[in-house]
Structure 1
Amino acid sequence: MRIKQYRTQFIKELSPFYDAYEAESFFYLILEDKHKLRQIDLALNHELTFSENDFVVWDSFLTELKKEVPIQYLLGKTHFYGLDFEVNENVLIPRPETEELVEWIINENSKIDTSKKIKILDIGTGSGCIAISLAKNIPNAEVYGIDVSKKAIETAKRNAINNKTGVTFMLQNILETEALKCNFDIIVSNPPYVRNLEKEEIKKNVLDYEPHLALFVDDNDALIFYRKIADLAQNNLLDNGQLYFEINQYLGDETRELLEKMDFKNIELRRDIYDNDRMISCKVSKTA
């Protein structure tokens, strides 16, 4: 069968689960990953065909996609801030909103005096996408990442090697941490922040397949990670050190109030591309 014909069949079979645009995007992601063919290649050569063995592979993708398994997990990788990252069921799939957080940090810190090392800590690093992207784009950055999941740390270490960065990753439960081992110029975190009451808003492909450990917090203490990390930051950020968070879109005001009560300065709440409260930054001032 010609690939162009199969494309029509592929999109039709996925139509009960995804809209046509998304199904088509899946088709071209698989086509490029498995056959090194792009959309333009297919447009320029309508006679390209699949072999019988190809159909076995494609049908297996169809089966899993009908279960709404994330395409990133099926391919074992995703793109984030211009880099390729391995992803699996042990780590969250990086989102465009998190790229905005990374962009914010880079814009504010990539042009600082390059003769001075900037020490950065990423808490709850997962795949390592934030830590590695910062290491690649801030020339004088010395970056560390911690996570409570051993398998997540193993994934992050592979991503650091594949992206040729020297990020140091460590297994650590931040909620059980009394003090960080050294001081930092920047602490960043995209911690669990989805309340159980919000589960009904979560798509099946996220709810059924992405790690709940990295997603959900108790409804009665939704800011537990922010409070803990902010507390550690007060002691382990250098003077004028910066703290950055990705946040729950419904808890922007509450997160800002938490930081205000803890005497952080220069608090800035920002919206994401979807116009939701999504990230916040502040500074610690240790001088009168």
Structure 2
Amino acid sequence: MPVKITDYRTKFVETLTPIYDKLEAESFFYLILEDLRGLKRIDLALNPDNEITEIEKWGHLLEALKNEVPVQYLLGKTTFYGLTFEVNENVLIPRQETEELVDWIVSDHKDQNTKILDIGTGSGCIAISLAKSFTDAKVSAIDVSEKALAIAEKNAEINQVEVNFLSKNILTTDDLEERYDIIVSNPPYVRELEKDEIRKNVLAYEPHLALFVADDDALVFYRKIATLALKSLHPEGKLYFEINQYLGKEMLQLLESMGFKDIQLRKDIYGNDRMVKATI
């Protein structure tokens, strides 16, 4: 028997609200509706008698969401900085806070002829967004995961930009071999002791390689990347990091001790210490 989409929406949201808040559950519904039917919220408002035509698919997706599988992985894509990115279990799902980091870089640099390196690129969201924003920039990106690089390369094709992707383990890299105007990184920064704060949809499904660091050396990636940046940034070159919200003071101390100048700590939209910029 046919079911109106508006009626199914009510059931869908009610099923998920013990796990997610109502607004989040509704956002999942409309993401799926647009993916399966090409319909937006306004389309449903204008045509409330539209019926569900793929009830089996909806049922599978609803069951997966009940198990807290990220909706982005279920749909195989997400949006970031106004662009579309394919994602799967081999890459982190790009976050709004990282968009803020990209926006900081874009706001700071009006010169299009810029050489940029993104370390730990994952889906490629930072590198590709910067390549799209700086059309004359030369952008490179590093990751240790071949599977992540395959996704990043596909995302560069989707968004019609050129990025030079490199397979490297940054912790065992002694020289970046080129000089850059900007080095940016969103490296692993969640300490093992913080696992209790992580929601199941992240902890159970997103790649731990890109998330976690040991409690006793939480700044290991930052220290190594900053060391390489000292050798590889042009004079007055900029280093940008996304950071652990609990380690803002420690990040400032680290960069100051290494001789960086004009160090700035910036909060994200939620008021957490989230980004750092430093100059050679």
Q: TM-score, normalised by structure 1?
A: 0.95
Determine which of 201, 218, 221 is the counterpart of 2:217.
221
In 1, distance between residues paired with 2:10 and 2:232?
A: 56
Return the offset for 1:140. Answer: 2.4
In 1, distance between residues paired with 2:124 and 2:227?
A: 23
Which segments of 5 or more consecutive residues in structure 1 lack a partner in the other structure?
A: none
Paired residue secondary structure (2:150): helix
Matches of residues 93-104 of structure 1 in structure 2 within 5 Å?
A: 93-104=93-104
Return the offset for 1:45. Answer: 1.2
Q: In the alignment, what sits opposite 1:236?
A: 232
Post-superposition CA distance 1:178-214 (Å, at most 9, x none)? 1012111110000000000011111110011000000
Q: In the alignment, what sits opposite 1:61?
A: 61
Determine which of 194, 197, 215 is the counterpart of 1:201.
197
Return the offset for 1:138. Answer: 1.4
Matched positions, count: 278
Q: In the alignment, what sits opposite 1:15?
A: 17
Segments of 4+ in structure 1 off by > 3 A? none
Q: In the alignment, what sits opposite 1:147?
A: 143
Q: In the alignment, what sits opposite 1:89?
A: 89
Letter in 2 for 1:211: P
In 2, distance between residues paired with 1:138 and 1:266?
A: 24
Identity, % of aligned pairs?
62
In 2, distance between residues paired with 1:37 and 1:118?
A: 40
Q: In the alignment, what sits opposite 1:280?
A: 276
1:179 to 2:167 alignment: no
1:270 to 2:272 alignment: no
1:169 to 2:165 alignment: yes
In 2, distance between residues paired with 1:57 and 1:206?
A: 23
Paired residue secondary structure (2:73): helix
In 1, distance between residues paired with 2:265 and 2:51?
A: 51
In 1, distance between residues paired with 2:35 and 2:269?
A: 28
Paired residue secondary structure (2:188): coil
Q: TM-score, normalised by structure 2?
A: 0.98
Paired residue secondary structure (1:48): coil
Paired residue secondary structure (2:276): strand
1:134 to 2:130 alignment: yes
Return the offset for 1:105. Answer: 0.3
Q: CA RMSD in A?
A: 0.7
1:246 to 2:242 alignment: yes
Paired residue secondary structure (2:92): coil
Letter in 2 for 1:252: G
Matches of residues 66-77 of structure 1 in structure 2 within 5 Å?
A: 66-77=66-77
Letter in 2 for 1:86: E
Matches of residues 114-125 of structure 1 in structure 2 within 5 Å?
A: 114=112, 117-125=113-121
Which segments of 5 or more consecutive residues in structure 2 lack a partner in the other structure?
A: none
Paired residue secondary structure (1:233): helix
Q: In the alignment, what sits opposite 2:79?
A: 79
Post-superposition CA distance 1:47-89 (Å, at most 9, x none)? 11123xx011000001100000000000101110000000110
In 2, distance between residues paired with 1:240 and 1:253?
A: 23
Post-superposition CA distance 1:207-227 (Å, at most 9, x none)? 110000000000000000000
Return the offset for 1:44. Answer: 1.0
Post-superposition CA distance 1:149-204 (Å, at most 9, x none)? 00000000000000000011111100010101211111000000000001111111
Determine which of 42, 47, 59 is the counterpart of 1:40.
42
Post-superposition CA distance 1:2-55 (Å, at most 9, x none)? 11111111111112211111111111100001100111111111211123xx01
1:105 to 2:100 alignment: no
Return the offset for 1:139. Answer: 2.6
1:29 to 2:31 alignment: yes
In 2, distance between residues paired with 1:261 and 1:131?
A: 28
